[in-house]
Chains A and B, each alone.
Chain A
Amino acid sequence: DQQVKQNSPSLSVQEGRISILNCDYTNSMFDYFLWYKKYPAEGPTFLISISSIKDKNEDGRFTVFLNKSAKHLSLHIVPSQPGDSAVYFCAATVTGTASKLTFGTGTRLQVTL
């Protein structure tokens, strides 16, 4: 039972264009959402997060949007750069539950020249 789903295993985007990575969740108790980025042979690194009391959070080129009614969040990267090529994991948690994260299956983003 996958509570956090990333239905696109891969995405290819041209440099300079927008990358949109999607994530859906089923557990309505989740109230905090995160995106992690992972390069090959490295551990995931935290990218950006959003609380359920917000519908948007922005950090430089990265923006996360949350649609609670649809149980959907998305990560926008504008403009995309070759260094953004990585696997992106969406994660969710219920705050107050010992930081236990539930991860999605990941989306591999390739930014082409």
Chain B
Amino acid sequence: DAGITQSPRYKITETGRQVTLMCHQTWSHSYMFWYRQDLGHGLRLIYYSAAADITDKGEVPDGYVVSRSKTENFPLTLESATRSQTSVYFCASSESGVGTDTQYFGPGTRLTVL
């Protein structure tokens, strides 16, 4: 399927477990982003990547790890999940790093940490 996809769409896990959220885009966009959406906070940037093997922290990176070995994939790992990481996670991509470039979002992953 063309576009940007996320898997799983829904995930329930327990405190302390490792969880990986997947993001795949078919446009060969250089930039990819991970956001979390929480009530009262809007969307907050967790990590972003300018290209394969280049990643950088966003506003709320603590507790998360990212990697980008291939241009099209940008997985987000919660190494030891906590209840405060219960959220909806969105992956996005853009063609370039120019600030005016449109970001295209995936459908989101709803994560619940018990």
A residues with CB within 8 A of B: 4, 6, 31-32, 36, 41-46, 49, 51, 89, 91, 93-106
Contacts and interface: CB of A to CB of B under 8 A. Distances in A.
Contacts of A98: 31, 48, 50, 56, 97, 99
Interface of B: 4, 31, 33, 35, 40-45, 48, 50, 56, 58-59, 90, 92, 94, 96-108
A44 B42 contact: no
Contact of B42 (A94, A95, A106): A106
Contacts, number: 73
A99 B103 contact: yes
Given A43-B92, A44-B90, A44-B105, A100 B42 contact: no
Contact of A99 (B35, B40, B101, B105): B101
Contacts of B31: 98-99
A91 B100 CA distance: 11
Nearest to A3: B59
A32 B43 contact: no
B105 to A, nearest CB: 3
Nearest to A94: B99
Given A99-B94, A99-B97, A89 B108 contact: no
Instruction: Tell which of B31, B35, B100 has the most Cβ of chain A within 10 Å.
Output: B100
Contacts of B96: 99
